[in-house]
Amino acid sequence: MLFPHLLLFFLALFTTRVSPEYTRPNPRPLIFRQHNRSDSDPQQVHISLAGKDHMRISWITLDKKVQSKVEYGKSPGKYDATATGESINYHYFFYSSGEIHHVKIGPLEPSTSYYYRCGGHGPEFSFRTPPSAFPVEFAVAGDLGQTEWTESTLAHIGAKDYDVFLLPGDLSYADTQQPLWDSFGRLVQPYASTRPWMVTEGNHEIETFPIIYPHGFKAYNARWLMPYQESRSTSNLYYSSDVVGTHIIMLGSYTDFDSDSDQYKWLQADLASIDRTRTPWVFVLIHAPWYNSNLAHRGEGESMRKAMEQMLYDARVDVVFAGHVHAYERFTRVYDNKADQCGPVHVTIGDGGNREGLAMSFDNPSPSISLYREPSFGHGRLRVINSTHAHWTWHRNKETNSLHVGDEIWLESLASLALCKKTNSSTRSPKDEL
């Protein structure tokens, strides 16, 4: 049938945003994961933090009559607690999703393994809750997709323990082909069912279509429900959560961010509510980078940077992680395009391994604020040791030893630096005061 192919072609035209200067390498074939169990068995199981001491369990069943119920406990096969939630489904042109279940469980104890079963059917899963005190370790990778490169990234991430996975946008690269959302869910299940996956949206999540789906994010919002209500946000496209002594803010590069927008006002209130004695570290994730010396996606984060950078600077955000550019790049502490000891470190970590390949070309010479850059697939690890020190490392997939460090930096919390204590004239750069 010609019509569906033509339709997909036009859908791709409307949903792909790529800089005209950048020539992509040839695509890599996708890995498509099938569901080989019964219709009532859970598939695409993933978990996410859902407010203090709670976790959200999400999964899909083809059988629409399966209850949104999670049985769980601290020993395998012994479930002394049950929680119920709700399920939804959606349609996208000719595609109808399975029943998407979301169930919040808790209160849960820290650093504890829980065993759980979804909907009363199928296999047992388990996860471990984050600790109650430092150290805490995050794995970070954006632009994952579902290729052999993705598998390699996931294997490297899984080779060493961590507490929470952070994904700065571009998950499945379904790009309107909805069965690829299902395949992606199956591919990541072994990882996303055992540790919380906290994600924000990228351009590949938009999936708008004029008149019919003008608002976009239909699949993303239905499948990857994040704790936006728990963080007083009105949109799943931006939210925050606390993990041990860290406050993590997920921003939306593809929803309104100007000073009169809901996201802007929410961010203002969220930053104002941070107590640095309780969460001395603040990390922000966005999709389109604000700082980027790669030739791919040049300038795409600029209007958001202009709208929001000062807010993050005044709040002494420690690190901003971005995706979108399929390479690794680390900047020095920066504010308004200049090195600044009280600005965030900016890191582009869009090297998860999607089908579009690597972004190979960087500005030459390198701008002085860019300290390390390399077009290789990989992932990052942020180990927060205590309230003042954290260690960031970057690991290439092409190293056989997943622990091999490609880049690293020790970070000092800005809240612990006297030089960066906030003042009323916080728009002035401390660098100017030296």
Question: Which are the contacts of 311, defined by CB distance < 8 A and separation ≥ 6?
Answer: 264, 267, 268, 271
- The minimum distance between CB 376 and Fe ion, in angstroms, equals 18
Instruction: Given the residues 247, 297, 326, 379, select the one marked as catalytic.
Output: 297
- The minimum distance between CB 204 and Fe ion, in angstroms, equals 6
- State which residue, 163 or 170, has the beta carbon closest to Fe ion: 170
- State which residue, 101 or 287, has the beta carbon closest to Fe ion: 287
- The minimum distance between CB 267 and Fe ion, in angstroms, equals 21
Q: Is 305 in the site for Fe ion (CB under 5 A)?
A: no
Reported as type and span, the H/E element at residue 222 is helix 218-223
Stretch that binds Fe ion, among 31-39, 196-204, 229-237, 261-269 (CB under 5 A): 196-204
Question: Which are the contacts of 425, defined by CB distance < 8 A and separation ≥ 6?
Answer: none
- The minimum distance between CB 143 and Fe ion, in angstroms, equals 6
In total, the chain counts a number of residues equal to 434
Site for Fe ion (CB under 5 A): which residue of 15, 152, 189, 203?
203
**The tokens 């998860």 sit on which residue?**
352
Positive or negative, the CA dihedral 386, 389, 392, 393 is negative
CA–centroid distance for 95 within its chain: 26
In a 13 Å sphere around the CA of 75, the CA atoms on its Cβ side amount to 2
- The minimum distance between CB 324 and Fe ion, in angstroms, equals 4
Footprint (CB under 5 A) of Fe ion, residues 240-269: none
Active site residue 35: no
Positive or negative, the CA dihedral 368, 371, 374, 376 is negative
- State which residue, 167 or 222, has the beta carbon closest to Fe ion: 167
Rounded distance between C-alpha atoms, residue 119 and residue 98, angstroms: 14
Site for Fe ion (CB under 5 A): which residue of 102, 223, 324, 326?
324
Stretch that binds Fe ion, among 29-37, 217-225, 301-309, 322-330 (CB under 5 A): 322-330
Q: Is 202 in the site for Fe ion (CB under 5 A)?
A: yes
The contact pattern for Fe ion, residues 99-138, with x = CB under 5 A and - = no contact, is ----------------------------------------
**Phi/psi of residue 8, nearest 5 degrees:** -65, -35
Footprint (CB under 5 A) of Fe ion, residues 370-429: none
- The minimum distance between CB 6 and Fe ion, in angstroms, equals 25
Question: Which whole-number Å values give the CA distances from 377 to 156, 276, 359, in the listed order?
Answer: 11, 34, 10
Rounded distance between C-alpha atoms, residue 111 and residue 115, angstroms: 13
Rounded distance between C-alpha atoms, residue 245 and residue 181, angstroms: 33
- The minimum distance between CB 364 and Fe ion, in angstroms, equals 24
Stretch that binds Fe ion, among 48-56, 194-202, 227-235, 416-424 (CB under 5 A): 194-202
CB 324 within 8 A of CB 291: no
Burial degree of 2 (CB within 10 A; 0-12, 13-18, 19+): exposed
- State which residue, 66 or 288, has the beta carbon closest to Fe ion: 288
| Residues in a beta bridge with 381 | 139, 393
- State which residue, 55 or 322, has the beta carbon closest to Fe ion: 322
Rounded distance between C-alpha atoms, residue 270 and residue 276, angstroms: 13
Stretch that binds Fe ion, among 104-112, 197-205, 206-214, 414-422 (CB under 5 A): 197-205
- State which residue, 119 or 202, has the beta carbon closest to Fe ion: 202
**The tokens 């924000």 sit on which residue?**
200
Q: Is 200 in the site for Fe ion (CB under 5 A)?
A: no
Helices and strands of the chain, counted as H and E runs: 7, 24
- State which residue, 33 or 324, has the beta carbon closest to Fe ion: 324
Site for Fe ion (CB under 5 A): which residue of 137, 163, 170, 309?
170
- The minimum distance between CB 121 and Fe ion, in angstroms, equals 36
- State which residue, 276 or 324, has the beta carbon closest to Fe ion: 324
CB 209 within 8 A of CB 9: no
Q: Which residues would be at the binding site for Fe ion (CB under 5 A)? A: 170, 202-203, 324
Catalytic machinery residues = 297
